[in-house]
Amino acid sequence: MEPIVQISLDLTTIEEALEMAHVAVDAGVDWIEAGTPLLLGEGLHAVVALREAFPNHPIVADLKTMDGGYLEAEMMAKAGATHVVVMGVAHPATVRAVVRAARDYGIKVMGDIMAAPDPVACAQFLERNGVDYILVHTSFDERGEDPARSPYDHLDAVVNAVSIPVQAVGGLSIEQAADMPRRGAPLVVVGAPLVIDRKEFRPSTDRAELKAVLENLVAKVKNSVQS
């Protein structure tokens, strides 16, 4: 698939999320993600607000579903989400329930392999059960205890093991994120509110700077060549 840039709105209020989303869309970002903190803070109302503000953009609801798969996916689809996230370590019945709901409501499923004992086996299981995308995700807490951990630990092996599109998530710099399509992971995600300071992300309230950073990332991703 062609490279895609996704902004993860890791905020806690609809007001902040809409402000960041407008900056991102103006910069050329393709997909909008209602991040887990936003869903915890505002629930499906955040998805409704994003859908109303951006009627033509795909919206990812990062539910990290572990149970109640059909209902959670159904609720987010009705709210306006086009993609939902299920955890690969959930019970297989939950994964299948999310996929079934997605088919019923015409949306897509992203399978997150975070915390899987065998990331490759987990990714393959998700693909076999109908998931549309694989998320190679190194968690925030894991990286907090071991800063050396990153999606690179499993990225190549997972890309080579599945035939569906892959996204790498967790602590990547702008340069690393922009390089993902060349590594076989065409779904590039960055979090907001974030800007680049040398090679590290840091929080910022400078919207002009954020837009410039995102425009640069979009240009790099769109000009990249998948391996």
Whether the Cβ atoms of residue 159 and residue 195 lie closer than 8 Å to each other: no
Q: Which among 161, 79, 181 is positioned nearest to 120, based on CA atoms?
A: 161
pLDDT given at position 210: 85
Q: What is the pLDDT of residue 58?
A: 98
Residue 194 has pLDDT above 80, yes or no: no
Nearest residue to 210 (alpha-carbon basis) of 37, 14, 19, 54: 19
Domains of the chain by residue range = 4-222
What integer pLDDT is reported at residue 23 of this predicted model? 92
Q: How much is the pLDDT for 118? A: 98
Q: Which pTM does this prediction carry?
A: 0.93
Q: Which positions ≥6 away from 223 have C-beta within 8 Å? A: none
Angstrom distance (rounded) from CA 201 to CA 223: 22
pLDDT value of position 199: 42
Hunting for tokens 């402000």 — which residue is that? Answer: 19
What's CA 153's distance to the chain center, in Å?
Answer: 18
- Mean pLDDT (the chain) is 92
Residue 195 has pLDDT above 80, yes or no: no
Confidence (pLDDT) at 227:
43
Q: What is the pLDDT of residues 4-13, one digit of tens each?
A: 999 999 989 9
Return the pLDDT at 192. 64
Q: Which residue has the higher pLDDT, 56 or 196?
A: 56
**Which is higher by pLDDT, 203 or 187?**
187
For position 206, what pLDDT does the model report?
Answer: 75
Comparison of pLDDT for 226 and 35, the residue scoring more = 35
DSSP assignment of 41-110 equals HHTHHHHHHHHHH-TTS-EEEEEEE-S-HHHHHHHHHHHT-SEEEEETTS-HHHHHHHHHHHHHHT-EEE
For residue 201, the model assigns a pLDDT of 44
Long-range contacts of 136-145 (CB under 8 A, 24+ apart): 136/166, 136/167, 136/168, 136/169, 136/185, 137/112, 137/113, 137/168, 137/169, 137/170, 138/114, 138/169, 138/170, 138/171, 139/114, 139/115, 139/170, 140/170, 140/171, 142/115, 143/170, 143/171
Residue 205 confidence (pLDDT): 63
Domain 4-222 carries which CATH code? 3.20.20.70
Q: Which long-range contacts (CB under 8 A, 24 or more apart) does 208-215 make?
A: 210/20, 210/23, 210/27, 211/23, 211/26, 211/27, 212/27, 213/174, 214/5, 214/7, 214/23, 214/24, 214/27, 214/28, 214/29, 214/190, 215/27, 215/28
Q: Which amino acid is at 124?
A: Q
Q: What is the mean pLDDT of residues 18-26?
A: 94
Per the rule left: phi > 0, alpha: psi between -120 and 50, beta: everything else, 170 is left
pLDDT at 224: 79
In tens, the pLDDT along 134-183 reads 999 999 899 989 999 999 999 999 999 999 999 999 988 888 999 999 99
